[in-house]
Structure 1
Amino acid sequence: MGGLDQATVTAQLRDLLTPATAVTPAAQVDLDRWRRCGYPEVVFAPGKTTQAIVDVFRAQLAHGQSCLATRVPAEQAAELLVTFPQARHNATARTLCIPAADGGGNGPQAGFVAVITAGTGDLPVAEEAVETAQWMGCQVDLIVDVGVAGPHRLPAQKHRFERADAIVVVAGMEGALPSVVGGHVACPVIAVPTSIGYGASFGGLAALLGMLNSCAANVTVVNIDAGFKGGFLAGLIAQRTAAATKNSGSLGNSPVP
């Protein structure tokens, strides 16, 4: 029987014993998150200076990781683009992402996510979900303005979302759309309530409560205006589905041309 000495075992387990952390003046960057959770740490921009975000991005890029920041104000995005001209800024989503130094992302593109909005006012939150899922390596189809006030609109788009591995549905007002979508598909539906609506919507609380009480069994809910969380969860589901499909030899799902 063979064996390993203590030095060899310690060397092989070094990443587990001493997780990689980059210490900057404003943050301790979790560089080990990519290995543990599949994706790098994401920067939530509010409350952070531009220099703090620059330091985090530089640490991630130096370790071969891609970068994503959410809720980035326009002025701060302009400053970051000076330092990182290779970055992509989505002004509607308020996101900024940078590919890894080798030009790649978080692995090969895999998994199909549909993002659906009830109204045009929900688009900023939906775009945040789109950018997040794309950053994770998913194919994404954005379907806009198909809320329940125009009941003919959703069925006309069903061919675009019925094969999705996961669906993100973004809605304000009374938050009815996720339940309707859930009744059409056999995949997880991640409902994202938005703060769009009049007084009694209570900043999205009415939509949140409506979604939490959905009678569609495949609907789950994230926080108000949390497009990032909806997109991230959908991306995880889609990537796992794609990996399982690849291992089984099936053709899997993809957007309809």
Structure 2
Amino acid sequence: MHQHDHARLERIGMPEAVLCGTKTVDQVRAIAVELASSSNGPRLLTRLGDEQLDALPQAVLDRLDDDRTSLTAFLDGTLPERSGTVAVVAAGTSDASVATEAARTLRFSGVHCELIVDVGVAGLWRLEARLDEIRSADIVIAVAGMDAALVSVLGGLVAAPVVAVPTSVGYGVAAGGTAALHSALASCAQGVTVVNIDNGFGAACAAVRMLSLVGGGR
């Protein structure tokens, strides 16, 4: 059985999140019912598949804020608002699911987030048109597949911390996201941080930790 980490919010400023994608339908149902029966505050469910969602009892569904693009769900609302802003910048609409996972995780965490999609380097004018908005954020999350060139471009244009999320979007040598990951890791832009392939949740959590150090607080 799943052992819930109810003290995680107190320890690190973020509650335990439930990764549903690697669990069976019955396991997710049991965990969601148990969480709903407790009074330990909001919870975030990630990679919540359609079949898993459909299997949840109506009493739990009534308390969920669900999003099918990101496959995330908020159980019992969100955390209190924190100071600070994050721009989640995605190269293409194909990266929207990962970018939205990051944005939803931030919103669950009480962080104001601007989601900016389809500003990849194939049309630099689109990125230039949004630069002032991106530069106004305290932290930038760059989400990109293929060659992940957006990561280095943003790293050279904005002063804020840049957290890169390589995605599995691509074909040929870019299939699976390894090329994007290697490109982000090899970026010549100074100080870019890189999380795992398709890990929008992890990038958002990194941003929450950063904001906590500079006054975003718990």
Mapped to 2, the partners of 1:80 and 1:42 lie a distance apart of 17
Aligned-residue identity in percent = 40
Mapped contact 1:193–1:204 kept (Cα < 8 A): yes
How is 1:1-257 mapped onto 2 (pairs within 5 angstroms)?
26-61=1-36, 62-80=38-56, 82-84=58-60, 85-99=62-76, 105-243=78-216
Contact 1:31 1:60 in 2 (8 A): no
Deviation at 1:99, TM superposition (A): 2.6
Q: Where does structure 1 lack aligned partners over 5 or more consecutive residues?
A: 1-25, 245-257
| Partners of 1:56 and 1:116 in 2: CA distance | 33
TM-score by length of 2: 0.91
Task: Name the aligned partner's letter for residue 149 of structure 2.
Answer: A
Q: 8 Å contact 1:113–1:235 — kept in the other structure? A: no
RMSD: 1.8
Provide, for residues 75-106 of structure 1, a one-character-per-residue CA deviation record: whole Å limited to 9, x for no partner.
21233372321211110001111135xxxx32
> Does the CA-based 8 Å contact 1:115-1:126 persist in structure 2?
yes
The question of whether the paired residues in 2 share the 8 Å contact of 1:138 and 1:239 is answered with no
- The alpha-carbon deviation at position 179 of structure 1 amounts to 0.9
Decide which structure has the larger Cα Rg and report it.
1
Partner of 1:4: none
Compute the displacement of 1:239 (Å): 3.8
Displacement after TM superposition at 1:65 (Å): 2.0
Q: What's the CA shift for 1:55?
A: 4.0
CA distance 1:81–1:192, shift in 2 (3 Å): farther
- Further displaced range: 59-68 or 152-161: 59-68
Deviation beyond 6 Å, 4+ runs, structure 1? none
